[in-house]
Structure 1
Amino acid sequence: MLSTKQVSWLKGAVFVLALAPLLRMVYLTVTGQLVDPLEFITRGTGDWTLYFLCMVLAVTPLRKLSGWNWLIKLRRMLGLYVFFYSFLHFMTFLWFDHFFDVQEMLKDVLKRPFITVGFIAFVLLIPLAVTSTNGMIKRLGGKRWQWLHRLVYVIAPLAILHFWWMKAGKHNFTQPIIFGSVLGALLLARLYWWVATRRNMA
Protein backbone atom coordinates (compact mmCIF):
# COMPACT_ATOMS: atom_id res chain seq x y z
CA MET A 1 0.00 0.00 0.00
CA LEU A 2 1.44 3.37 -1.01
CA SER A 3 1.54 6.23 1.44
CA THR A 4 -0.16 9.56 0.70
CA LYS A 5 3.24 11.13 -0.02
CA GLN A 6 4.17 8.34 -2.44
CA VAL A 7 0.85 8.69 -4.26
CA SER A 8 1.43 12.45 -4.56
CA TRP A 9 4.88 11.85 -6.06
CA LEU A 10 3.43 9.26 -8.43
CA LYS A 11 0.69 11.63 -9.58
CA GLY A 12 3.30 14.32 -10.23
CA ALA A 13 5.42 11.90 -12.26
CA VAL A 14 2.42 10.75 -14.31
CA PHE A 15 1.39 14.37 -14.92
CA VAL A 16 4.83 15.23 -16.34
CA LEU A 17 5.14 12.01 -18.37
CA ALA A 18 1.70 12.58 -19.89
CA LEU A 19 2.96 15.85 -21.37
CA ALA A 20 5.97 14.16 -22.99
CA PRO A 21 4.13 13.21 -26.24
CA LEU A 22 3.04 16.83 -26.73
CA LEU A 23 6.55 18.16 -26.04
CA ARG A 24 7.95 15.68 -28.57
CA MET A 25 5.44 16.80 -31.22
CA VAL A 26 6.27 20.45 -30.58
CA TYR A 27 10.02 19.81 -30.67
CA LEU A 28 9.94 17.84 -33.93
CA THR A 29 7.70 20.47 -35.53
CA VAL A 30 9.75 23.50 -34.41
CA THR A 31 13.06 21.93 -35.43
CA GLY A 32 11.72 21.09 -38.89
CA GLN A 33 12.30 17.34 -38.64
CA LEU A 34 8.90 16.40 -40.06
CA VAL A 35 7.93 15.97 -43.70
CA ASP A 36 4.24 16.58 -42.93
CA PRO A 37 3.85 18.28 -39.51
CA LEU A 38 0.06 18.58 -39.82
CA GLU A 39 -0.47 14.88 -40.41
CA PHE A 40 2.00 14.01 -37.65
CA ILE A 41 0.27 16.24 -35.08
CA THR A 42 -3.21 15.13 -36.13
CA ARG A 43 -2.27 11.46 -35.92
CA GLY A 44 -0.27 11.92 -32.72
CA THR A 45 -2.94 13.75 -30.77
CA GLY A 46 -5.56 11.24 -31.93
CA ASP A 47 -3.41 8.25 -30.99
CA TRP A 48 -2.65 9.63 -27.54
CA THR A 49 -6.32 10.32 -26.93
CA LEU A 50 -6.91 6.60 -27.44
CA TYR A 51 -3.89 5.61 -25.33
CA PHE A 52 -5.17 7.62 -22.39
CA LEU A 53 -8.71 6.34 -22.91
CA CYS A 54 -7.32 2.79 -22.62
CA MET A 55 -5.46 3.78 -19.44
CA VAL A 56 -8.61 5.23 -17.87
CA LEU A 57 -10.65 2.13 -18.62
CA ALA A 58 -7.80 -0.11 -17.39
CA VAL A 59 -7.76 1.44 -13.91
CA THR A 60 -10.72 -0.52 -12.49
CA PRO A 61 -9.73 -3.96 -13.87
CA LEU A 62 -6.12 -3.49 -12.70
CA ARG A 63 -7.27 -2.32 -9.28
CA LYS A 64 -9.56 -5.32 -8.85
CA LEU A 65 -6.98 -7.83 -10.07
CA SER A 66 -4.01 -6.40 -8.19
CA GLY A 67 -5.61 -4.86 -5.11
CA TRP A 68 -3.76 -1.61 -5.83
CA ASN A 69 -6.49 0.76 -4.68
CA TRP A 70 -4.19 3.75 -5.11
CA LEU A 71 -4.69 3.44 -8.89
CA ILE A 72 -8.10 5.09 -8.49
CA LYS A 73 -6.30 8.32 -7.54
CA LEU A 74 -4.78 8.49 -11.02
CA ARG A 75 -8.01 7.97 -12.95
CA ARG A 76 -9.28 11.56 -12.86
CA MET A 77 -5.98 12.98 -14.12
CA LEU A 78 -5.76 10.35 -16.87
CA GLY A 79 -9.34 11.18 -17.86
CA LEU A 80 -8.47 14.87 -18.13
CA TYR A 81 -5.58 13.96 -20.40
CA VAL A 82 -8.05 12.10 -22.63
CA PHE A 83 -9.89 15.39 -23.02
CA PHE A 84 -6.66 17.39 -23.33
CA TYR A 85 -5.33 15.39 -26.26
CA SER A 86 -8.76 15.15 -27.90
CA PHE A 87 -9.04 18.94 -27.61
CA LEU A 88 -5.65 19.34 -29.32
CA HIS A 89 -6.80 16.85 -31.98
CA PHE A 90 -9.97 18.88 -32.58
CA MET A 91 -8.11 22.22 -32.57
CA THR A 92 -5.69 20.88 -35.20
CA PHE A 93 -8.70 20.10 -37.38
CA LEU A 94 -10.39 23.46 -36.70
CA TRP A 95 -7.23 25.55 -37.08
CA PHE A 96 -5.23 24.00 -39.89
CA ASP A 97 -8.07 22.48 -41.93
CA HIS A 98 -10.58 25.33 -41.56
CA PHE A 99 -8.66 28.32 -40.13
CA PHE A 100 -11.25 28.74 -37.34
CA ASP A 101 -14.14 29.01 -39.80
CA VAL A 102 -16.73 27.31 -37.57
CA GLN A 103 -19.43 27.26 -40.24
CA GLU A 104 -17.18 25.48 -42.73
CA MET A 105 -15.98 23.15 -40.01
CA LEU A 106 -19.56 22.14 -39.16
CA LYS A 107 -20.31 21.53 -42.85
CA ASP A 108 -17.33 19.19 -42.96
CA VAL A 109 -18.53 17.44 -39.81
CA LEU A 110 -21.92 16.77 -41.38
CA LYS A 111 -20.47 15.75 -44.74
CA ARG A 112 -17.88 13.17 -43.66
CA PRO A 113 -19.08 10.33 -41.37
CA PHE A 114 -15.70 9.63 -39.78
CA ILE A 115 -15.45 13.28 -38.71
CA THR A 116 -19.08 13.19 -37.52
CA VAL A 117 -18.50 10.35 -35.05
CA GLY A 118 -15.19 11.85 -33.92
CA PHE A 119 -16.85 15.20 -33.29
CA ILE A 120 -19.67 13.54 -31.32
CA ALA A 121 -17.12 11.70 -29.18
CA PHE A 122 -15.30 14.99 -28.50
CA VAL A 123 -18.51 16.82 -27.57
CA LEU A 124 -19.47 14.00 -25.18
CA LEU A 125 -16.09 14.34 -23.47
CA ILE A 126 -16.77 17.98 -22.58
CA PRO A 127 -19.31 17.36 -19.76
CA LEU A 128 -17.02 14.68 -18.33
CA ALA A 129 -14.11 17.13 -18.18
CA VAL A 130 -16.28 19.94 -16.77
CA THR A 131 -17.65 17.71 -13.99
CA SER A 132 -14.31 16.20 -12.99
CA THR A 133 -13.87 18.36 -9.87
CA ASN A 134 -14.91 17.42 -6.33
CA GLY A 135 -17.23 20.44 -6.28
CA MET A 136 -19.14 19.22 -9.34
CA ILE A 137 -19.43 15.73 -7.87
CA LYS A 138 -21.07 17.23 -4.77
CA ARG A 139 -23.39 19.40 -6.89
CA LEU A 140 -24.55 16.55 -9.08
CA GLY A 141 -24.64 13.93 -6.36
CA GLY A 142 -22.70 10.69 -6.54
CA LYS A 143 -25.28 8.65 -8.48
CA ARG A 144 -26.00 11.28 -11.12
CA TRP A 145 -22.27 11.91 -11.51
CA GLN A 146 -21.66 8.20 -12.05
CA TRP A 147 -24.44 7.97 -14.64
CA LEU A 148 -23.05 10.97 -16.50
CA HIS A 149 -19.55 9.52 -16.57
CA ARG A 150 -20.85 6.30 -18.05
CA LEU A 151 -20.84 8.27 -21.29
CA VAL A 152 -17.32 6.88 -21.60
CA TYR A 153 -18.96 3.62 -22.72
CA VAL A 154 -20.42 5.54 -25.67
CA ILE A 155 -17.31 7.62 -26.31
CA ALA A 156 -14.96 4.63 -26.57
CA PRO A 157 -16.82 2.87 -29.46
CA LEU A 158 -17.28 6.19 -31.26
CA ALA A 159 -13.55 6.91 -30.99
CA ILE A 160 -12.71 3.49 -32.43
CA LEU A 161 -15.25 3.94 -35.24
CA HIS A 162 -13.74 7.35 -36.03
CA PHE A 163 -10.28 5.80 -36.18
CA TRP A 164 -11.49 2.83 -38.26
CA TRP A 165 -13.19 4.98 -40.88
CA MET A 166 -10.18 7.30 -41.04
CA LYS A 167 -7.87 4.35 -41.75
CA ALA A 168 -10.33 2.77 -44.21
CA GLY A 169 -9.22 5.10 -46.97
CA LYS A 170 -5.64 3.87 -46.55
CA HIS A 171 -6.68 0.23 -46.10
CA ASN A 172 -4.66 0.11 -42.89
CA PHE A 173 -6.72 -1.47 -40.12
CA THR A 174 -3.94 -2.76 -37.86
CA GLN A 175 -4.06 0.05 -35.30
CA PRO A 176 -7.88 0.32 -35.17
CA ILE A 177 -8.09 -3.46 -34.60
CA ILE A 178 -5.52 -3.30 -31.79
CA PHE A 179 -7.18 -0.32 -30.10
CA GLY A 180 -10.63 -1.83 -30.61
CA SER A 181 -9.56 -5.16 -29.13
CA VAL A 182 -7.98 -3.54 -26.07
CA LEU A 183 -10.92 -1.22 -25.42
CA GLY A 184 -13.39 -4.05 -26.07
CA ALA A 185 -11.63 -6.30 -23.55
CA LEU A 186 -11.55 -3.51 -20.95
CA LEU A 187 -15.25 -2.73 -21.44
CA LEU A 188 -16.18 -6.42 -21.21
CA ALA A 189 -14.16 -6.74 -18.00
CA ARG A 190 -16.01 -3.81 -16.45
CA LEU A 191 -19.34 -5.27 -17.62
CA TYR A 192 -18.46 -8.63 -16.06
CA TRP A 193 -17.72 -7.08 -12.65
CA TRP A 194 -20.85 -4.93 -12.83
CA VAL A 195 -23.04 -7.99 -13.52
CA ALA A 196 -21.25 -9.98 -10.77
CA THR A 197 -21.82 -7.14 -8.28
CA ARG A 198 -25.52 -6.94 -9.19
CA ARG A 199 -25.92 -10.68 -8.70
CA ASN A 200 -24.26 -10.55 -5.28
CA MET A 201 -26.61 -7.75 -4.24
CA ALA A 202 -29.71 -9.70 -5.38
Structure 2
Amino acid sequence: MKAPFKPLVFALGLLPVAWLAGRFWLDDLGVNPIETVNRFLGDWALRFLLIALAVTPVRQWTHWAPLARLRRMLGLYAFFYVCLHMASYIGLDLFFDWQTLWKDVLKRRYITLGMICFVLLVPLAATSTDAMVRWMGGKRWRMLHKLVYPAGCLGVVHFWMMVKADIREPLIYALVLAVLLGWRAVKAFRQNPAGVILGR
Protein backbone atom coordinates (compact mmCIF):
# COMPACT_ATOMS: atom_id res chain seq x y z
CA MET A 1 0.00 0.00 0.00
CA LYS A 2 1.33 3.41 -0.90
CA ALA A 3 2.14 5.67 2.02
CA PRO A 4 -0.45 8.38 1.19
CA PHE A 5 -3.31 5.86 1.12
CA LYS A 6 -3.61 5.30 4.86
CA PRO A 7 -3.49 9.03 5.76
CA LEU A 8 -6.15 9.60 3.11
CA VAL A 9 -8.47 7.06 4.74
CA PHE A 10 -7.69 8.63 8.12
CA ALA A 11 -8.73 12.04 6.78
CA LEU A 12 -11.88 10.64 5.18
CA GLY A 13 -12.86 9.14 8.53
CA LEU A 14 -13.02 12.64 10.00
CA LEU A 15 -15.29 14.02 7.30
CA PRO A 16 -18.54 13.21 9.17
CA VAL A 17 -17.32 15.23 12.18
CA ALA A 18 -16.30 18.09 9.89
CA TRP A 19 -19.68 18.00 8.15
CA LEU A 20 -21.49 18.04 11.49
CA ALA A 21 -19.35 20.96 12.66
CA GLY A 22 -20.22 22.81 9.46
CA ARG A 23 -23.93 22.29 10.02
CA PHE A 24 -23.54 23.54 13.57
CA TRP A 25 -21.66 26.62 12.37
CA LEU A 26 -24.41 27.37 9.83
CA ASP A 27 -27.11 26.73 12.44
CA ASP A 28 -28.51 23.99 10.23
CA LEU A 29 -29.21 21.18 12.68
CA GLY A 30 -32.99 21.30 12.40
CA VAL A 31 -35.70 21.88 14.97
CA ASN A 32 -34.14 19.38 17.41
CA PRO A 33 -30.35 19.86 17.19
CA ILE A 34 -29.55 17.48 20.04
CA GLU A 35 -31.44 14.60 18.43
CA THR A 36 -29.86 15.41 15.06
CA VAL A 37 -26.34 15.30 16.52
CA ASN A 38 -26.99 12.15 18.53
CA ARG A 39 -28.51 10.19 15.65
CA PHE A 40 -25.92 11.40 13.15
CA LEU A 41 -23.06 10.20 15.36
CA GLY A 42 -24.80 6.90 16.08
CA ASP A 43 -25.39 6.31 12.38
CA TRP A 44 -21.72 6.80 11.60
CA ALA A 45 -20.64 4.60 14.50
CA LEU A 46 -22.67 1.74 13.03
CA ARG A 47 -21.48 2.45 9.49
CA PHE A 48 -17.83 2.36 10.49
CA LEU A 49 -18.41 -0.84 12.45
CA LEU A 50 -19.89 -2.50 9.37
CA ILE A 51 -17.13 -1.11 7.14
CA ALA A 52 -14.51 -2.54 9.50
CA LEU A 53 -16.26 -5.92 9.40
CA ALA A 54 -16.31 -5.76 5.60
CA VAL A 55 -12.54 -5.38 5.27
CA THR A 56 -11.70 -9.08 5.60
CA PRO A 57 -14.35 -10.38 3.15
CA VAL A 58 -13.53 -7.67 0.59
CA ARG A 59 -9.81 -8.34 0.96
CA GLN A 60 -10.32 -12.04 0.35
CA TRP A 61 -12.75 -11.51 -2.51
CA THR A 62 -10.44 -9.04 -4.26
CA HIS A 63 -7.13 -10.63 -3.16
CA TRP A 64 -5.90 -7.13 -2.31
CA ALA A 65 -3.86 -7.78 0.84
CA PRO A 66 -3.11 -4.12 1.73
CA LEU A 67 -6.76 -3.66 2.73
CA ALA A 68 -5.97 -5.52 5.95
CA ARG A 69 -3.92 -2.54 7.10
CA LEU A 70 -7.07 -0.43 7.25
CA ARG A 71 -9.11 -2.77 9.45
CA ARG A 72 -7.75 -1.60 12.79
CA MET A 73 -8.07 2.08 11.88
CA LEU A 74 -11.66 1.63 10.74
CA GLY A 75 -12.48 -0.27 13.92
CA LEU A 76 -11.05 2.55 16.00
CA TYR A 77 -13.11 5.04 14.02
CA ALA A 78 -16.20 2.99 14.88
CA PHE A 79 -15.28 3.23 18.56
CA PHE A 80 -14.52 6.95 18.18
CA TYR A 81 -18.00 7.63 16.81
CA VAL A 82 -19.58 5.38 19.43
CA CYS A 83 -17.87 7.48 22.11
CA LEU A 84 -19.09 10.71 20.49
CA HIS A 85 -22.58 9.23 20.26
CA MET A 86 -22.47 8.34 23.95
CA ALA A 87 -21.05 11.75 24.88
CA SER A 88 -23.77 13.57 22.98
CA TYR A 89 -26.47 11.48 24.68
CA ILE A 90 -25.06 11.85 28.19
CA GLY A 91 -23.87 15.45 27.87
CA LEU A 92 -26.30 17.13 25.50
CA ASP A 93 -29.46 15.10 26.08
CA LEU A 94 -29.18 14.23 29.77
CA PHE A 95 -26.89 17.09 30.89
CA PHE A 96 -24.80 14.53 32.81
CA ASP A 97 -27.77 13.41 34.90
CA TRP A 98 -26.30 10.06 35.92
CA GLN A 99 -29.42 8.97 37.78
CA THR A 100 -31.53 9.41 34.66
CA LEU A 101 -28.89 7.60 32.63
CA TRP A 102 -29.02 4.63 34.99
CA LYS A 103 -32.83 4.56 34.78
CA ASP A 104 -32.69 4.70 30.99
CA VAL A 105 -30.22 1.83 30.84
CA LEU A 106 -32.45 -0.30 33.06
CA LYS A 107 -35.84 0.58 31.57
CA ARG A 108 -35.33 1.41 27.88
CA ARG A 109 -34.26 -1.72 26.07
CA TYR A 110 -32.64 -0.07 23.09
CA ILE A 111 -30.45 1.98 25.42
CA THR A 112 -29.60 -1.19 27.36
CA LEU A 113 -28.45 -2.85 24.14
CA GLY A 114 -26.54 0.23 23.05
CA MET A 115 -24.71 0.33 26.37
CA ILE A 116 -23.82 -3.37 26.15
CA CYS A 117 -22.50 -2.75 22.63
CA PHE A 118 -20.31 0.05 23.96
CA VAL A 119 -18.98 -2.15 26.77
CA LEU A 120 -18.08 -4.88 24.28
CA LEU A 121 -16.15 -2.43 22.12
CA VAL A 122 -14.09 -0.97 24.97
CA PRO A 123 -11.67 -3.95 25.34
CA LEU A 124 -11.31 -4.12 21.56
CA ALA A 125 -10.21 -0.49 21.37
CA ALA A 126 -7.97 -0.92 24.42
CA THR A 127 -6.15 -3.87 22.83
CA SER A 128 -5.83 -2.44 19.33
CA THR A 129 -2.09 -1.71 19.49
CA ASP A 130 0.69 -3.97 18.22
CA ALA A 131 2.09 -4.09 21.74
CA MET A 132 -1.17 -5.54 23.07
CA VAL A 133 -1.24 -8.14 20.30
CA ARG A 134 2.25 -9.26 21.29
CA TRP A 135 1.41 -9.23 25.00
CA MET A 136 -1.80 -11.24 24.62
CA GLY A 137 -0.58 -13.56 21.91
CA GLY A 138 -2.23 -13.82 18.51
CA LYS A 139 -4.70 -16.58 19.41
CA ARG A 140 -6.09 -14.89 22.54
CA TRP A 141 -6.16 -11.53 20.76
CA ARG A 142 -8.20 -12.95 17.88
CA MET A 143 -10.60 -14.64 20.28
CA LEU A 144 -11.15 -11.39 22.18
CA HIS A 145 -11.76 -9.43 19.01
CA LYS A 146 -14.55 -11.77 18.00
CA LEU A 147 -16.60 -9.65 20.40
CA VAL A 148 -17.05 -7.34 17.43
CA TYR A 149 -19.62 -9.80 16.05
CA PRO A 150 -22.13 -9.55 18.93
CA ALA A 151 -21.34 -5.84 19.15
CA GLY A 152 -22.36 -5.43 15.52
CA CYS A 153 -25.59 -7.35 16.12
CA LEU A 154 -26.42 -5.26 19.18
CA GLY A 155 -25.68 -2.06 17.28
CA VAL A 156 -28.10 -2.98 14.51
CA VAL A 157 -30.84 -4.04 16.96
CA HIS A 158 -30.27 -0.84 18.99
CA PHE A 159 -30.83 1.24 15.87
CA TRP A 160 -33.81 -0.85 14.77
CA MET A 161 -35.56 -0.45 18.14
CA MET A 162 -34.80 3.27 18.27
CA VAL A 163 -36.35 4.22 14.92
CA LYS A 164 -39.55 2.26 15.67
CA ALA A 165 -41.55 3.25 12.57
CA ASP A 166 -39.39 3.60 9.45
CA ILE A 167 -37.18 0.52 9.55
CA ARG A 168 -35.80 0.77 6.01
CA GLU A 169 -32.35 2.01 7.02
CA PRO A 170 -31.82 -0.44 9.93
CA LEU A 171 -33.08 -3.21 7.65
CA ILE A 172 -30.32 -2.38 5.15
CA TYR A 173 -27.73 -2.47 7.94
CA ALA A 174 -29.15 -5.76 9.20
CA LEU A 175 -28.88 -7.31 5.73
CA VAL A 176 -25.30 -6.08 5.32
CA LEU A 177 -24.38 -7.52 8.72
CA ALA A 178 -26.10 -10.81 7.89
CA VAL A 179 -24.04 -11.11 4.70
CA LEU A 180 -20.77 -10.29 6.50
CA LEU A 181 -21.38 -12.70 9.38
CA GLY A 182 -22.94 -15.35 7.14
CA TRP A 183 -19.88 -15.31 4.90
CA ARG A 184 -17.64 -15.84 7.94
CA ALA A 185 -19.82 -18.69 9.20
CA VAL A 186 -19.78 -20.47 5.83
CA LYS A 187 -16.03 -20.02 5.50
CA ALA A 188 -15.41 -21.35 9.02
CA PHE A 189 -17.68 -24.34 8.37
CA ARG A 190 -15.85 -25.20 5.15
CA GLN A 191 -12.50 -25.05 6.92
CA ASN A 192 -13.57 -27.00 10.01
CA PRO A 193 -17.14 -28.39 9.96
CA ALA A 194 -16.75 -30.29 13.22
CA GLY A 195 -15.36 -27.27 15.03
CA VAL A 196 -18.26 -25.06 13.98
CA ILE A 197 -20.88 -27.65 14.97
CA LEU A 198 -19.27 -28.24 18.35
CA GLY A 199 -18.63 -24.55 18.96
CA ARG A 200 -14.84 -24.80 18.93
TM-score band w.r.t. shorter chain: over 0.9
Q: 2:77 matched to 1:81? A: yes
Q: 1:197 aligns with which of 186, 191, 199?
A: 191
Equivalent residue, structure 2, for 1:128: 124
After superposition, give the CA deviation of every residue in 1:146-193 in whole Å (9 maximum; x if it has no partner).
11000011101101110111011xx11001100000011011111112
Secondary structure of 2:14's counterpart equals helix
Whether the 8 Å CA contact 1:60–1:190 is kept in 2: the answer is no
State which drifts further: 29-38 or 135-144: 29-38
Secondary structure of 1:151's counterpart equals helix
Question: RMSD across aligned C-alpha pairs, in angstroms?
Answer: 1.5
TM-score, normalised to structure 2's length?
0.93
Q: 1:177 aligns with which of 171, 175, 182?
A: 171
1:83 deviates by 0.1
Equivalent residue, structure 2, for 1:34: 29
Whether the 8 Å CA contact 1:42–1:93 is kept in 2: the answer is yes
Secondary structure of 1:32's counterpart equals coil
Q: 2:11 matched to 1:10? A: no
1:34 deviates by 2.0
Q: How many residues align?
A: 194
Structure-to-structure mapping, 1:43-58, within 5 angstroms: 43-58=39-54
Q: Aligned residues: percent identity?
A: 44
Q: 2:138 matched to 1:142? A: yes
Whether the 8 Å CA contact 1:49–1:82 is kept in 2: the answer is yes
List 4+ stretches of structure 1 deviating above 4 A.
Answer: none
d(CA) in 2 for partners of 1:33 and 1:63? Answer: 38
After superposition, give the CA deviation of every residue in 1:102-122 in whole Å (9 maximum; x if it has no partner).
232111111100100001001
AA matched with 2:8: A
Equivalent residue, structure 2, for 1:24: 19
Secondary structure of 2:4's counterpart equals helix
Equivalent residue, structure 2, for 1:162: 158
d(CA) in 1 for partners of 2:53 and 2:139? Answer: 19
d(CA) in 2 for partners of 1:41 and 1:99? Answer: 14
Alignment gaps of 5+ in structure 1: none
1:26 deviates by 1.1
After superposition, give the CA deviation of every residue in 1:57-93 in whole Å (9 maximum; x if it has no partner).
1111111111001000000000000000000001111
Whether the 8 Å CA contact 2:29–2:37 is kept in 1: the answer is no
1:27 deviates by 1.2
Alignment gaps of 5+ in structure 2: 196-200
